[in-house]
Amino acid sequence: GPLNETSLPLYFGWFLFSSVQDKVGCTAMDFLKTLDTLEGFKNHIADFTEQPEKEVDLEQYFETKGILHCTTKFCDYGKADGASEYAKNPVVKKCYGSVFELSLTALFVTPRTVGARVCLTDEQLKLWPADTEKESEADVPGSAALPVGSRAHITLGCAKDVEPVQTGLDLLQILTLPTGEVVEEMELGSLRYYGEGRWMLDLREPICAAACFSSFYG
Ligand code: 2AM
């Protein structure tokens, strides 16, 4: 019937439970609050501002972007390559509406975005389009050589005029670089610098985030 032919969503993904959104949002805010006070960060402040004599308030610098989620497939209402194939995949249909536990293993910050890296289980990888990292090669050289699922992330905020699609690209870029030097041992974990304003905090204790696999129409 006509309902079956209705448009595809903007994207499929795992949507964090609201209590978990609060927890993750607070952890991210605490991280940003601490990061911009560290000497190690201030030494590289020019990456974030053209007026390096000024301080940067990272909490103000980034704007939040709606419900916290980890996109699996961006469908663009059917206009994206592979959108209808993804929606028809039996695993996608079977898992639709199911609850998963995502493991957040790192937080990362660049002059464009702030996000959380998601480490997918084998079961979760079945919902991850296998060509994601290969298709990212044009934007981020080296992506195709990374393990499948490397792009999995949650956008926590974007700088002014930056679209959330940038967060996954920023993560991939960090992952293609040699491991950065540890600049600070923070309570949450080791903070590494990757040059050009790119920071990654490997969490000592991954954050376990309950999330529902579903889709967003907007
Ligand atoms: P995000 O997954 O990094 O947050 C709506 O714009 C959602 O789809 C956002 O969550 C966004 O980024 C994601 N998105 C937008 N364009 C995309 C693209 N070309 N590829 C993958 N994800 C995209």
Interface predicted TM-score (ipTM) of this complex, two decimals = 0.98
CA angle 9/11/16 to nearest 5° reads 120
Whether residue 144 has its Cβ less than 6 Å from ligand 1? no
The token pair that represents 24 in the structure block: 């993750």
- Rounded Cα distance, 35 and 184, in Å: 10
Amino acid 2: pLDDT: 52
Tell me the backbone φ, ψ of residue 18, rounded to 5 degrees: -65, -35
Amino acid 52: pLDDT: 75
Distance (Å) from CA 51 to ligand 1 centroid? 31
Distance (Å) from CA 183 to ligand 1 centroid? 30
pLDDT digit string, tens, across residues 147-186 = 999 999 999 999 999 999 999 999 999 999 999 999 999 9
Residue numbers in the chain where pLDDT is lower than 50: 1
Q: What is the DSSP letter of 63?
A: B
Instruction: With CA atoms as reference, report the closest residue to 40 among 109, 98, 90.
Output: 109
* pTM for this model (two decimals): 0.96
Q: What is the DSSP letter of 130?
A: T
Question: What share of residues in the chain are helix, strand, coil (percent, to 5)?
Answer: 35, 30, 40
Whether residue 155 has its Cβ less than 6 Å from ligand 1? yes
Of 165, 166, 172, the one to substitute when testing ligand 1's pocket (max ligand atoms within 8 A of C-beta) is 165
Ligand 1 atom nearest the C-alpha of 11 is: 8
Whether residue 10 has its Cβ less than 6 Å from ligand 1? yes
Distance (Å) from CA 150 to ligand 1 centroid? 15
* Mean per-residue pLDDT over the chain, rounded: 95
SS3 161: coil
Tell me the backbone φ, ψ of residue 65, rounded to 5 degrees: -130, 65
SS3 118: strand
Amino acid 65: pLDDT: 87
